[in-house]
Amino acid sequence: MHPEFICVKIKPRYIERKNSTYMNRSTYKKVGIASLIMMASIFLSRLIGVFREMVIAGVGGANAAVDAYQYAFAVPEILNHVVASGFLSVTFIPIFSGYLIRNAEEEGWKVFSIILNCIGSLLIVFIVIAEIFTSDLVSIFTPGISNPGIRADTIRMTRIIIPAQFFFFTGGMFMAVQFAKERFFIPALAPLVYNLGIISGGLILGSTFGMDGFSWGVLGGAFVGNFAIQLYGARKCGMTYSLTFNFRHPDLKKYVLLTLPLVIGLTMTFSTEIFMRFFGSFLPDGGTASLNYALRIMLILVAIFGQAAGVASFPFMAKLAAENRIQEMNDLLNTTLKYLSLVIPFSVLLMVLRHETVLMLFQRGEFDAQATRITADSLLFLLTGAFAFAAQTVVVRGYYAIQNTLLPAIFGTIAVLISIPVYYIGMMRWGIIGVAAALSFSSILQVLLLYAVWNRKTTNKEGISVYTFYLKILLISLFIGVSLTWFKETFLYTINTMTFAGCLLVSVISGILFLFLLIAAGYVFRIKEISELPGKILHISS
C-alpha cells in the first residue's frame, strides 16, 4: 500500500483518539475542579452545620423543645418535595443545557421564566393552604406527639418555616442555570449563608424566643443565601427574566413529566427526613433530637465525599448523555463510585470514636452525658449506611442525566416501602437505635437496587468491578476497625474520655494510626483510589 495512502487513512483515527483523550482529560479536569469547589463549600457548610447543631444543643439540649423544632420541618419538607425544589438542578439543567448546545440561549431564558412563573405561582398557593391547615398537617406527619405544649410549639414554628420554601424553589432555579453554565462558586455560597442565618437567629433571638429564634433564622437564611445571592449569580450568567405564563409550553410539560415521578416517588433523602420525624414522634422526649444530632454527624461524610461529587459531576454527565456518549458516562460514574468507597473506612473510624466525637461536639450547656450516650449509640447504626447515602448522590444523577426520572422513582419507592416494616419493628423493639438501623437499611437497599437497574439499562459491564471493589474496601475497613478498637482498649484506656481534652487526645492518636493503616492498605493491595488520592488532589488544585 502506498505510504501516503496509509498516512491519510491513519491520521483521522489518530486525531480522533487524540481529541477523545484530550476531551476525557478536559472533562475529568473540569469535574475535579468543580468537585473541589463544591467539596470546599459543602465541607464548610457541614462544619457550620455542626456548629449550628452545637448551638442548638447548648441552648436546648436533647429535650422536647428541640424535638418540636425538628418536627416543625416535617410539613415544609413535604411542601419542598411536592414542588421538587431539591430536584431543580437535575430536571431543569438537561432542558436548559439543550438550548445552550443548540445555541438558542434566548429561548432557554424564556423557558426558564415560564417554569419559574408557573411552578412558583403554584407554590405560593400551596404555602397559603399549608399556613391555614398547619395544625391538621402536623397531626398527619408527626402523629406521635401527645404533649399539647410540644404540639403547639411545633405548629407555631412550622408556620414560621413554611414560607422559606418559596426562596428554596426560586433560588434552586437560579442555581440550576449557573450549574448549566459551569459556574459553581456563587451556588456554593448558598448552604453556608443558610446555616449562618440559622445560627444568627438562634444566637440573637434564642434567649428571648427560645427555639423560635432558630426558626426565624431558617427563614432569613433561606432568603439571603438561597434567593438574594443566587439571583445575583444568575444575573451574572446573563439571566433574562420576563413575566411570562404559558401552561401549554412543551418544555413546561416536559419539565412536569420529568419532575412528577420524583414528586410521587420516595427518594432516599426525603424518606430519611420524613420517617425520622414520623417514627421519631413516637419516641420518648429527646429521641428525635438525639437521632438528628447523630444524623448530622454522619452526613458530614456524605457531604464531603458524595454530595460534592454528585453535584459537580452531574452537568458533565448531562452533557455526555446529550451527546449520546453513554460509555464515557458509565466510565465517569464507575470511577466516581470507586472513589466514594472511601466513605467506608472513614465511617469505621467514626464508629470507633463515636463517643469521643459526640462529646467533643455537643456535650455542653443543656446537652449532658446521657444525651451523649444516646446520640453515640444512634451514630453507630447510622454510620453503617453512610456509604449508601454517598453513592446514591451519584447513582441517581446518572438517571437524571439521561432524563429518566421514572425508574429511580419506582425502584426507590419500592425500596422505601419494603423498609417500612423494618422502621416499625425497629422502633417498637429497640427505640431510637432501631430507627437509626432502619434508616441505614433503607439507604443500602435503595442504592443497591438503583445501581443494579442502572447496570442492566445501560449495559454497564464494568458494574461488577464496582461491587467487588466495595467488598474489598469493606474487608480492609473491618480489619482497620478491629485494629483501632484493640489499640484503643489496650493502650489508650488510661486516658479520661469523659473530658474534652481526653477525647481529643484519643481521637488524634487513633486518627493518625487510621491514616497509616489506610494508606498502607492502599499500597499493599494496590488500590490506586487510596494510594493515588493525595497526588490527584494536588494535581487538580495546581
In whole angstroms, what is the distance from residue 284 CA to residue 296 CA?
A: 20
In whole angstroms, what is the distance from residue 530 CA to residue 521 CA?
A: 8
User: In the predicted model, what is the mean pLDDT of residues 274-296?
Assistant: 91
Of the listed ranges 88-92, 334-338, 511-515, the one predicted with least confidence: 88-92
Residue (of 236, 258, 283, 252) closest to 424 by Cα position: 283
More confident residue, 404 or 211: 211
pLDDT digits (tens, 9 = 90+) for 418-427: 999 999 999 9
In whole angstroms, what is the distance from residue 229 CA to residue 215 CA?
A: 20
Measure Cα distances from 91 to 32, 396, 447 in Å. Answer: 23, 12, 20
In whole angstroms, what is the distance from residue 234 CA to residue 496 CA?
A: 52
Q: What is the pLDDT of residue 151?
A: 94
Percent of the chain with pLDDT over 90: 49
In whole angstroms, what is the distance from residue 214 CA to residue 58 CA?
A: 13
Q: What is the pLDDT of residue 20?
A: 46
User: In the predicted model, what is the mean pLDDT of residues 416-439?
Assistant: 95
pLDDT digits (tens, 9 = 90+) for 490-519: 999 999 999 999 999 999 999 999 999 999
User: In the predicted model, what is the mean pLDDT of residues 111-130?
Assistant: 92
**Residue 23: band (very low, low, confident or very high) from pLDDT cuts 50, 70, 90:** very low
Q: Vertex 398, ends 13 and 28: CA angle to 5°?
A: 50
Q: What is the pLDDT of residue 160?
A: 96
- Looking up cell 408557573 gives 118
**Residue 19: band (very low, low, confident or very high) from pLDDT cuts 50, 70, 90:** very low
Residue 505 near residue 356, CB atoms below 8 Å: no
Residue (of 299, 234, 318) closest to 443 by Cα position: 299
**Residue 312: band (very low, low, confident or very high) from pLDDT cuts 50, 70, 90:** low
Residue 93 near residue 179, CB atoms below 8 Å: yes
Q: What is the pLDDT of residue 237?
A: 87
pLDDT digits (tens, 9 = 90+) for 151-178: 999 999 999 999 999 999 999 999 988 8
User: In the predicted model, what is the mean pLDDT of residues 57-66?
Assistant: 87
In whole angstroms, what is the distance from residue 275 CA to residue 350 CA?
A: 24
Of the listed ranges 84-88, 119-123, 512-516, the one predicted with least confidence: 84-88
Q: What is the pLDDT of residue 174?
A: 92
**Residue 535: band (very low, low, confident or very high) from pLDDT cuts 50, 70, 90:** low
Q: What is the pLDDT of residue 540?
A: 45
In whole angstroms, what is the distance from residue 50 CA to residue 431 CA?
A: 24
User: In the predicted model, what is the mean pLDDT of residues 65-77?
Assistant: 92
First to last CA, the chain: 47
More confident residue, 300 or 160: 160
Residue (of 184, 139, 185, 137) closest to 162 by Cα position: 137
Alpha helices for 383-461 (secondary structure H): 386-401, 406-430, 432-458
Residue (of 266, 202, 203, 211) closest to 70 by Cα position: 211
Q: What is the pLDDT of residue 272?
A: 87
Q: What is the pLDDT of residue 282?
A: 92
Task: Give the list of residues 6+ apart from residue 353 with CB closer than 8 angstroms, or none.
Answer: 506, 507, 510, 511
User: In the predicted model, what is the mean pLDDT of residues 309-313?
Assistant: 67
Length of the chain: 542
Task: Give the list of residues 6+ apart from residue 131 with CB closer than 8 angstroms, or none.
Answer: 159, 162, 163
- Of 56-65, 197-206, 248-257, 473-482, which one has max mean pLDDT? 473-482
Q: What is the pLDDT of residue 466?
A: 94
More confident residue, 492 or 18: 492
User: In the predicted model, what is the mean pLDDT of residues 342-346?
Assistant: 93
User: In the predicted model, what is the mean pLDDT of residues 235-255?
Assistant: 88
**Residue 26: band (very low, low, confident or very high) from pLDDT cuts 50, 70, 90:** low
Residue 218 pLDDT exceeds 70 = yes
Residue (of 416, 421, 129) closest to 264 by Cα position: 416
Residue 344 pLDDT exceeds 90 = yes
Q: What is the mean pLDDT of the chain?
A: 85
Residue 38 pLDDT exceeds 70 = no
Q: What is the pLDDT of residue 259?
A: 82
Where residue 283 falls (left for φ over 0; alpha for ψ -120 to 50; beta otherwise) is beta
Residue type, position 48, single letter: I
